[in-house]
Amino acid sequence: MKKKATIVSFEGIDGCGKSTQAKQFVRYLKSKGFKTLFFKEPGTTALGKKLRKILLAKKQDILPLSELFLYLAARNELVTKKIKPCLNKKVILVFDRFIDSTIAYQGYGRGISLNLIENMHSVILNGIIPDITFVIDAPASELRKVIGKDADRLEKSIKFQEMVRRGYLKIAENEPKRVKIIKRGSINETFQSIQKLWQEFFE
C-alpha cells in the first residue's frame, strides 16, 4: 500500500540553522492548514531522549561504531513507535535530522562503511525515506563563530564538519531529485528558498 504521509527532512552541519528552518517550516505548514508532526533526531521517544544526552555529552568518548549503533537504536525506536503508525494518514512528517545525518556524520565523517549503514537502514526503515530533504549548506569555517563555546562533542572540529558537509553534497549529487542543497543566507532568505522548492515539489 502506498503511504499517504509526506516525509520532509532538514539536514546540515552543526550551526547551519536547520533547526530554525525546520520549526519555521512546521509553522508555515500549519498556517496553510496541513496536519503536521515534528520529530527531532535523536530524541522524540523516551529512549531517544536518553541516547541524545549520551551522544551529545561534551566529555563523552564513544567509539565510531558504538556511536553509529546508538543513533540507529534511537532511530529504530522512532520509526517503529512514531513513524510507521502515521504512514497511512494524510499528514506531513517533518524531521530535524533523519537518515542522511547518519550517512554524512558516521559514514563520511567517521569513515564507517556506507554499505554497513545502508544495510542497517534497510532493516530499520523497510523502505521509509524522506520524500524531500533540505540541506542547509555553508562552509564549516563560516559557522564556527555561530557554534562558539557551546560546541558539543560533534561540533568541535572544523575539519570533521567539513568532511560531513562534503558528505551531504555527495548525497545530493547521488539523489538530486530528493535532496536539495540550499545555500545558507539570512533566516528569511533561506526560508524563501525552502518555500520555493517545497511549492515546486508539492505541485
CB atoms within 10 A of CB 36: 18
> Measured between alpha carbons, how far is residue 170 from residues 55, 63, 165, 180, 190 in Å?
25, 24, 9, 11, 21
Is residue 15 part of an annotated ligand binding site? yes
Give dist(CA 28, CA 191) in Å, integer.
10
Is residue 14 part of an annotated ligand binding site? yes
Is residue 167 part of an annotated ligand binding site? no
What nine digits make up the cell of 54? Answer: 549520551
38 backbone dihedrals φ, ψ, rounded to 5°: -115, 135
3-state secondary structure of 136: strand
Is residue 18 part of an annotated ligand binding site? yes
Is residue 12 part of an annotated ligand binding site? yes
Residue 14: what residue type? Answer: D
Q: Minimal CA–CA distance to 52: which of 33, 34, 73, 35?
A: 73
| b/e 5-28 (16+ beta carbons within 10 angstroms → b) | bbbbbbbbbbbbbbeebbebbbee
Strand partners, 96: 10, 40
Is residue 150 part of an annotated ligand binding site? no
Is residue 181 part of an annotated ligand binding site? no
The annotated binding site is made up of 12-19
The annotated binding site for ATP is made up of 12-19
